[in-house]
Amino acid sequence: MKRKIISILKYLLFLLIGIGLLWLVFRKLEINSVVNEIKNANYSWILLSFVFAIISHISRAMRWNIMINSLGYKTKTITTFYAVMVGYFANLAIPRIGEITRCGVLGKNNKIPVNSLIGTVISERIFDLLILILIIFFVIVFQLNLVGVFVNKYLFIPLSSKFSNNFSLIIFTVSVIIIIIISLLLIIKRYKNKIKHLSFYIKLKELINGFLNGIKTIKRMEQKWAFLFHTFIIWLMYFLMTYICFFAIKATSHLTVIDGITVLALGSLGIVAPVPGGIGAYHFIVKAILFELYGISAIAAASFATIVWTAQTILVIVLGAFSYFMLFLLKKRYFHEKT
């Protein structure tokens, strides 16, 4: 009961954070102007982005199949696709619960141990995280001037202005941090055996072991090239989903391929943020990128973020609900065949 209450409170907290970010995005904008921008958008480009999104989901299901097959289990692509979409659907309600949900759904329908499936999901998430880091690195290198100006304006200049006349404060802060780190290391060394039995330590150790086992799973995979191919397709479709939507609004239609990669890379940070469905976080980051880096008007920037997020959310809801229904039918058919 206590865990349920904590989970509900966490959900409400992150939901409030998302709503707060949405408020920050729209607080100084004329809502009527935003609504008109959204109404006048060319939705044929949005519909085309749906095609790329579906291809990415299918490719993700096929890539997951490769990992499951490496464990000695056989699954159909269509069943795996349904499980992936149900997972995405669950993520809209509770962040990160989708990974466990899709494992549970597929495990029940295919009689596969859920723990084994969770290991494969951890593996692919590690790999996707590495890809995202590489893309962000690519964005920084090839748009160093733009990103550099942005970081300098909103990070380095404010920090330097605050601490330029407070050198002693900086020295004091650094000293305190060093003392804290040394103290923690001494405490860990002295109470090593007791710390090993703490639930926090055990969970952290399990998490690290899960990451290491995930990397090993990818290493011993037989169809490595197929895995890499589907990874490429997934991220290519993610890029096209973003880039093609630029043409839906006149203000963003001139943006280039590299601009699309930038929005994809940094906007993905909003999607993976611990708020339901990336609500607020995605809007905040994408609006900031378009407005601050590329000089798009605040109204157009907020409208673009809203259109893309809403469109993909609707697609996930429709496909997720459909997939849940289809898995229910498959399970019912399997039950009747056995009886």
**Above 90 in pLDDT, residue 230?**
yes
Task: Considering only residues 148 and 114, tell me which one the structure prediction assigns the higher pLDDT.
Answer: 114
**What b/e sequence results for 237-246 when a residue is b if at least 16 CB atoms lie within 10 Å of its CB, and e otherwise?**
bbbbbbbbbb
**Above 80 in pLDDT, residue 245?**
yes
Question: In this structure, is residue 93 part of a structural domain?
Answer: yes
Question: In this structure, is residue 196 part of a structural domain?
Answer: no
**Above 90 in pLDDT, residue 302?**
yes
Q: Where in the sequence is the domain holding 121, given as residue range(s)?
A: 32-159+221-338
Question: In this structure, is residue 198 part of a structural domain?
Answer: no
Q: Specify the number of domains making up the chain.
A: 1
Q: How far is CA 245 from the centre of its chain?
A: 19
Question: In this structure, is residue 173 part of a structural domain?
Answer: no
CA distance 113 to 19: 38
- pLDDT band at residue 78, thresholds of 50, 70 and 90? very high
**Above 70 in pLDDT, residue 14?**
yes
Q: Write the pLDDT tens digit of every residue in 149-177.
A: 665 665 555 555 555 555 565 566 667 77
Question: In this structure, is residue 329 part of a structural domain?
Answer: yes
Report residue 304 as tokens: 């673009």
Which region among 19-28, 125-134, 185-194 has the lowest average model confidence (pLDDT)? 185-194
Q: What pLDDT sits at residue 44? A: 96
CA distance 101 to 179: 43
Whole-prediction pTM: 0.79
CA distance 111 to 182: 50
Question: In this structure, is residue 226 part of a structural domain?
Answer: yes
Question: In this structure, is residue 233 part of a structural domain?
Answer: yes
Average pLDDT (63-80) is 87
Q: What pLDDT sits at residue 72? A: 79
Question: In this structure, is residue 5 part of a structural domain?
Answer: no
Q: What pLDDT sits at residue 200? A: 67
In percent, the amount of the chain with pLDDT more than 70 equals 78
